[in-house]
């Protein structure tokens, strides 16, 4: 297959509310090449969750796609019938959620649940069970045959998240969406889960859309990184471009802020003063302008276009590329 | 001279769903020891961080200090007064000097009251009638960098960072000597975490308040703690000045925690220590050194002899037979 | 003291809740119907065209006319006047009953939820015992003992519906008992009365208000039912139940009485249920925040 696996073009999603429309996503462009791990970074309110629900077509009733397309394997997900979409979910696109405690049905054994999700395959029960055990073994659960008969509460949080990954990969999806899968886990377990995910991705050759606010995890796991701010993609590039030569001022500030990056104990940690703008009453020009230290006059009036800075490195900023290299 | 907070050999046990017999009061009720003999000191004006992962007992420890849980053994002395077994009527006056911040920034604020009411509540509880609540509210909001218009809002109208500032304002209302902060950066965005840590260290310098910070986030520790204690299964396994522990960790668990913090740099080469398996259950604690089941450097005697609490330097201690160098 | 300072805030909140109710078509409909019923009950003395108990034999069993919009009954009393007065009686029964049931239920429920285990069990046993009596049977038994009157009806319904409020209050209390904000209050040294009254009560009250709104039609219906059986409000005092009873016996002569007694009952049920359902969606501030801000 040529071209990207998932190709989101110009996607805008609005929520109807009594206060007026909240423009949660605006002209988002995002492409995931086959076999790549693409990380999405952004803080609360940046539109990460809306993006996921749009790709899965599981949006809340007051959400509306204002424009754009979500290309997946040469079809537009936004115009697929509900039946086709259902057939796609869990089979070609699957998801691992943030909270491993709520991802499983508490009254069914893990083995039952893993057999149930193979309902499309039409294989025999023992075969489904054998596959489930093999999959559990792959994500590093010891004694998988025995543990198939246990209930979710008999597993620890880290194990449950690995089981969730096993279940998501069971159908060999082309795209795995991982929504902050390690946020609820302790650091030592987070490392285990990330390594497992990376190894499995290499084995299965699927693409992963990895959502996280943890920059360290993104740097370690992803090939490509997308930075979102207040409902827009502000920068996209390879993980090295992004972490070594960030071009959008927001990306730069965000990286500077990360306490994980600052090894020396400092009097004052860098911050990004100001607040995310109200998505129901957006300012003219660039959304980041009010918090941006590099803003020029043009930023107040003209919304910055999506520009290619170098091969595979894009940003939506008037000053990107010119005011660059002030850092790093 | 006595330190501000002195904890000695503290043990907190929880009963766990026992069998039929124990429910009748026959036979010993099974229990887990969430805090299994912790001793530590917090000096005046000092920030002491307790680091550990889920189930390490760090939150239980903080709640026992605040008198929200009963400790079965040991002692907690605050300003020289024994808190264990102290009735609430005698504890209340001491609460002027000890404030606690809880994990969930929004969830720890009573949902149907205004911010003004919430931050001035300590005055009401302590019966300080002479204070002008209006003025105090404005002063406190100003202190944590929130504008006066927040006074009329409700908790659900705040972002996580704003709610956290309200929590700090309320903790500071009575000029406490000690703040117990349970995961102060939980649920906050990266850029807001920095703001909060700046605020806390600024207030500490200005007001001279001591802090006991409970966290699993080592970045928090590095930036605000003077000393740090690492907890595993309800016990301290290492303790020392923050810089020393970070630069020269002795216990393998400390080492693993430090290494498990992914660098925001794709080319960072990590000599990562990956731990084996999962943390053991408190119901079946491993024998001898309790870390030996997951330790990458385990030796024969680790499963047999219990390591002692030993000093590397006068103020740097650990509990390991084979400390790293 | 605490309560007084809160009121300024609660006012704003009340206005906000009303604003949300009015924006929902169903809520607006409920609000309009309920306001009409309440207003006509309050100003009944001024708006009734005739004295509802005055006899006027020559107009008996009349159909609707310019003089009697809803006709007149077998004694020539104006039906519209009796419907309006019946509404007042219905609310006179329903409001104190529900207020009483709510107070008893709330107090016992919060004690059960917050207090020690044995007290919880004791109060639950009490609730279940009282609830196991069918209200109507219980009422019939009491009326047979002490004779029919408005007060008896009020007391009986109050006693039998209090456990429902008690159950809801208890569940709410139990849910919030270990919440972080109550823990935070305890860490500040807040006394038990303060925790119960200032922090727990406002959070328990919301769901109870919804329950109460939905319960008013039930109580109105119960009163009508008992009056229909001749066990409630005594003649000649007008009641929707006795109107129905009259209409039922006279259905061969005129359908108007049964219609006049039935329609207000239906309207009351619909009005309060619409209002209650909208309130339920709106009353939770967190739910509201989610609805508004996504």
Taking the Cβ of residue C192 and every Cβ of chain B, the question of whether any pair is shorter than 8 Å is answered with no
* Subunits adjacent to chain B (3 or more Cβ pairs under 8 Å): A, C
Q: Which helix (H) or strand (E) holds B239?
A: strand B235-241
Can the peptide bond before residue C236 be classed as cis, meaning omega within 30 degrees of 0? yes
Cβ–Cβ contact B156 with C under 8 A? yes
In chain C, positions 254-293, which contact chain A (CB-CB < 8 Å)?
A: 291-293
CA distance C224 to chain B (A): 38
Please check the confidence at residue A327 and state whether its pLDDT lies above 60: no
Q: How does pLDDT run across A252-275, given as a tens digit for each residue?
A: 998 888 877 777 777 678 888 888
Q: What is the mean pLDDT of chain A?
A: 86
Q: Which backbone phi and psi does C83 adopt, to 5 degrees?
A: -65, -45
C-alpha distances (whole Å) from B271 to each of B72, B259, B260, B261, B274 are: 41, 7, 10, 12, 9
What are the pLDDT digits (tens) for C246-260?
777 777 777 777 787
C86 exposure class (CB count in 10 Å sphere: 0-12, 13-18, 19+): buried
Cross-chain residue pair C292–A17, CB shorter than 8 Å = yes
A93-108 average pLDDT score: 83
Average pLDDT over residues C99-116: 93
Q: What is the pLDDT of residue C13?
A: 65
Residues of A in contact with B274 (CB under 8 A): 188, 191-192, 195
In the block, residue with structure tokens 């509802």? C52
Yes or no: say if C199 and C185 are a contact pair by the CB < 8 Å rule. Answer: yes
| Alpha-carbon span A274 to A297, nearest angstrom | 19
**Helix or strand run (H / E) with residue A257:** helix A249-257
Chain A CB contacts of C294 under 8 Å are: 15, 17, 22, 24, 60, 62
CB B184 within 8 A of CB B198: no
Give the integer Cα–Cα distance in Å for B249 and B237: 11
Contact A188 B257 (CB under 8 A): yes
Our CA dihedral for C262, C265, C270, C275, rounded to 10 degrees, sits at 160
Whether the CB-CB separation of B101 and B183 falls below 8 Å is answered with no
Q: Which residues contact A55 (CB under 8 A, 6 or more apart)?
A: A6, A8, A70, A72, A77, A93, A177, A209
Backbone angles phi, psi at B40, to 5 degrees: -160, 165
Do the Cβ atoms of C214 and C272 come closer than 8 Å? yes
Of B108, B112, B117, the CB nearest to C203: B112
Mean pLDDT of chain C: 80
- Strands B178-182 and B210-215, by their bridges, are parallel
Write out residues in chain B with pLDDT < 50, as ranges: none
- Chains touching C by CB (3 or more pairs below 8 Å): A, B
Q: Which two tokens stand for residue C3?
A: 């309560």
Assess whether pLDDT exceeds 70 at residue A58: yes
Q: How confident is the model at residue C12 (pLDDT cuts 50, 70, 90)?
A: low
Q: In DSSP terms, which residues pair with B47 in a beta bridge?
A: B211
Asked if the Cβ–Cβ distance from A17 to C23 is below 8 Å, we say no
Per-residue confidence (pLDDT) for residue C291, from 0 to 100: 42
Six-digit token pair at A28? 């988002």
pLDDT tens-digit readout, C266-288: 888 888 888 888 887 776 655 54
Mean pLDDT score, C96-106: 93
Mean pLDDT along residues A237-250: 91
Q: Measured between alpha carbons, how far is B78 from B4 in angstroms, rounded to an integer? A: 6
Query: How many CB atoms are closer than 10 A to CB A257?
Result: 23
Token pair in block for residue A129: 């069970």
Q: Of A217, A220, A265, which is closest to B223 when you measure between CB atoms?
A: A265
pLDDT category, A325, cuts 50, 70, 90?
Answer: very low
Instruction: Supply the DSSP symbol for A32.
Output: E
Cβ of B112 and C202 within 8 Å?
yes
Between C102 and C146, name the one with better pLDDT.
C102
Residues in A whose CB is inside 8 Å of some CB of C read: 15, 17-19, 22, 24, 60, 62
CB atoms within 10 A of CB A76: 13
- State how far the Cα of A65 lies from the Cα of A68, in Å rounded to an integer: 8
Percent of chain A with pLDDT over 90: 26
Residue with tokens 């995910």, as numbered in its chain: A197
Q: Which residues of A touch C292 (CB under 8 A)?
A: 17-19
Query: Between chains, do A44 and B189 touch, taking CB under 8 Å as contact?
Result: yes
Q: Which of A12-21, A170-179, A239-248, B16-25 has the lowest mean pLDDT?
A: B16-25
3-state secondary structure of B232: strand
CA distance C76 to C236: 13
Number of H helices, E strands in chain A: 11, 12
- Residue B169 has a pLDDT of 93
The mean pLDDT of C179-201, rounded to a whole number, is 91
Residue ranges of B 41-100 with Cβ closer than 8 A to chain A: 53-54
Q: Beta-carbon neighbour count of residue A121 at 10 Å?
A: 13
B39/B37 Cα distance (integer angstroms): 7
**CA A169 distance to own-chain centroid:** 16
pLDDT above 50 (res C6): no
Q: Of A77, A56, A62, which is closest to residue A13 (Cα–Cα)? A: A62
Reduced to 3 states, what is the DSSP secondary structure of residue C35? helix
Q: How far is CA C88 from CA B280, C93, C158, C231, C269, in A?
A: 68, 9, 18, 18, 15
Looking at residue A2, its pLDDT comes to: 60
Q: Is-contact B214 B245, C-beta < 8 A?
A: no
pLDDT of the residue at B18: 54
Residue A199 neighbours by CB under 8 Å, 6+ apart: none
Looking at the complex, does the CB of residue B154 fall below 8 Å from at least one CB of chain C? Answer: yes
**Percent of the residues in chain A that have a pLDDT greater than 70, as a whole number:** 97
- The predicted pLDDT at position C287 comes to 52
ipTM: 0.86
Dmax (CA) of chain C: 76
């Amino acid at each position: 297959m040529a071209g990207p696996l998932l190709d989101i073009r110009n996607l805008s999603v609005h929520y109807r509310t009594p206060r007026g429309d909240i423009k949660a996503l605006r002209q988002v462009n995002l492409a995931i090449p086959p076999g790549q791990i693409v990380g999405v970074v952004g803080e609360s309110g940046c539109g990460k969750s809306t993006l996921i629900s749009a790709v899965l077509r599981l949006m809340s009733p007051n959400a509306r796609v204002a424009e754009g397309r979500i290309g997946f394997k040469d079809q537009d997900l936004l115009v697929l019938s509900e039946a086709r979409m259902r057939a796609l979910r869990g089979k070609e696109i699957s998801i691992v959620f943030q909270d491993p405690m709520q991802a499983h049905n508490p009254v069914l054994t893990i083995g039952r649940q893993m057999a149930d999700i193979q309902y499309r395959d039409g294989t025999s029960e023992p075969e489904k069970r054998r596959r489930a055990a093999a999959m559990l073994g792959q994500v590093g659960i010891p004694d998988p045959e025995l543990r198939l008969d246990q209930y979710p509460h008999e597993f620890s949080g880290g194990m449950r998240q690995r089981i969730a990954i096993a279940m998501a990969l069971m159908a060999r999806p082309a795209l795995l969406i991982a929504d902050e899968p390690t946020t609820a886990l302790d650091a030592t377990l987070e490392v285990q889960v990330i390594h497992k995910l990376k190894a499995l991705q290499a084995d299965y050759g699927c693409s992963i859309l990895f959502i996280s606010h943890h920059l360290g995890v993104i740097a370690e796991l992803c090939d490509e990184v997308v930075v979102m701010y207040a409902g827009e993609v502000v920068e996209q590039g390879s993980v090295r471009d992004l972490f070594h030569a960030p071009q959008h001022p927001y990306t730069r500030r965000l990286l500077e802020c990360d306490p994980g990056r600052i090894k020396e104990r400092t009097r004052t940690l860098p911050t990004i003063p100001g607040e995310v703008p109200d998505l129901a009453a957006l300012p003219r020009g660039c959304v980041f302008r009010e918090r941006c230290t590099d803003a020029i006059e043009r930023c107040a009036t003209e919304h910055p276009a999506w520009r290619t800075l170098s091969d595979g490195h894009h940003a939506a900023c008037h000053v990107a590329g010119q005011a660059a290299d002030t850092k790093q | 001279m006595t330190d501000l907070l002195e904890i000695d050999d503290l043990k907190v046990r929880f009963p766990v769903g026992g069998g039929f017999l124990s429910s009748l009061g026959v036979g010993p009720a099974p229990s887990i020891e969430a805090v299994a003999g912790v001793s530590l000191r917090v000096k005046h004006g000092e920030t002491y961080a307790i680091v550990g992962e889920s189930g390490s007992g760090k939150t239980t420890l903080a709640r026992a200090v605040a008198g929200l849980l009963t400790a079965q053994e040991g002692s907690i002395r605050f300003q020289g007064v024994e808190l264990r077994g102290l009735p609430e009527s005698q504890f209340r006056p001491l609460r002027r000097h000890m404030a606690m911040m809880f994990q969930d920034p929004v969830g720890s604020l009573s949902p149907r009251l205004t911010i003004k009411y919430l931050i001035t509540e300590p005055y009401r509880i302590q019966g300080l009638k002479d204070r002008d609540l209006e003025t105090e509210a404005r002063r406190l909001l100003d202190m944590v960098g929130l504008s006066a218009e927040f006074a009329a809002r409700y908790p659900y109208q705040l972002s996580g960072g704003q709610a956290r500032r309200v929590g700090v304002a309320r903790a500071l209302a009575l000029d406490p000597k000690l703040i117990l902060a349970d995961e102060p950066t939980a649920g906050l965005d990266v850029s807001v975490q920095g703001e909060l840590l700046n605020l806390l260290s600024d207030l500490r310098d200005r007001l001279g308040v001591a802090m006991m910070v409970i966290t699993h986030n080592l970045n928090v520790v590095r930036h605000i703690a003077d000393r740090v204690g690492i907890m595993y299964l309800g016990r301290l396994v290492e303790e020392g000045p923050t810089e020393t522990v970070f630069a020269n960790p002795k216990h393998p668990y400390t080492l693993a925690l430090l290494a498990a913090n992914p660098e925001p740099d794709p080319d960072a080469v990590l000599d990562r220590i990956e731990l084996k398996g999962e943390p053991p259950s408190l119901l079946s604690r491993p024998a001898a050194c309790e870390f030996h089941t997951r330790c990458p450097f385990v030796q024969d005697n680790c499963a047999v002899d219990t390591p002692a609490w030993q000093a590397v330097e006068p103020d740097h201690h650990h509990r390991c037979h084979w400390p790293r160098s | 003291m605490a309560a007084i300072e809160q009121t300024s805030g609660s006012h704003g909140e009340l206005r906000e809740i009303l604003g949300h109710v009015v924006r929902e078509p169903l809520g607006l409909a409920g609000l309009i119907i309920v306001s009409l019923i309440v207003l006509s009950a309050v100003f009944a003395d001024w708006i009734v065209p005739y004295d509802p108990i005055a006899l006027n034999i020559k107009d008996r069993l009349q159909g609707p006319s310019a003089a009697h919009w809803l006709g007149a009954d077998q004694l020539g009393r104006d039906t519209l006047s009796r419907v309006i007065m019946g509404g007042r009686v219905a609310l006179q029964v329903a409001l104190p009953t529900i207020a009483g049931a709510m107070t008893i239920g709330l107090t016992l429920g919060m004690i059960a939820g917050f207090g020690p285990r044995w007290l919880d069990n004791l109060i639950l046993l009490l609730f279940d015992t009282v609830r196991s009596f069918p209200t109507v049977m219980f009422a019939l038994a009491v009326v047979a003992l002490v004779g029919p009157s408005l007060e008896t009806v009020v007391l009986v319904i109050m006693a039998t519906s209090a456990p429902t409020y008690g159950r809801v209050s208890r569940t709410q209390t139990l849910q919030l008992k270990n919440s972080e904000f109550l823990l935070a209050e305890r860490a500040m040294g807040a006394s038990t009365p303060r925790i119960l009254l200032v922090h727990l009560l406002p959070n328990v009250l919301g769901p109870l208000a919804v329950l109460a709104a939905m319960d008013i039609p039930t109580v109105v219906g119960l009163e009508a039912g008992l009056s229909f059986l001749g066990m409630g409000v005594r003649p000649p005092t007008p009641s929707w139940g006795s109107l129905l009873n009259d209409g039922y016996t006279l259905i061969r002569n005129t359908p108007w009485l049964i219609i006049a007694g039935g329609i207000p009952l239906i309207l009351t049920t619909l009005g309060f249920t619409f209002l209650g359902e909208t309130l339920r969606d709106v009353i939770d501030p967190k739910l509201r925040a989610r609805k508004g801000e996504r």
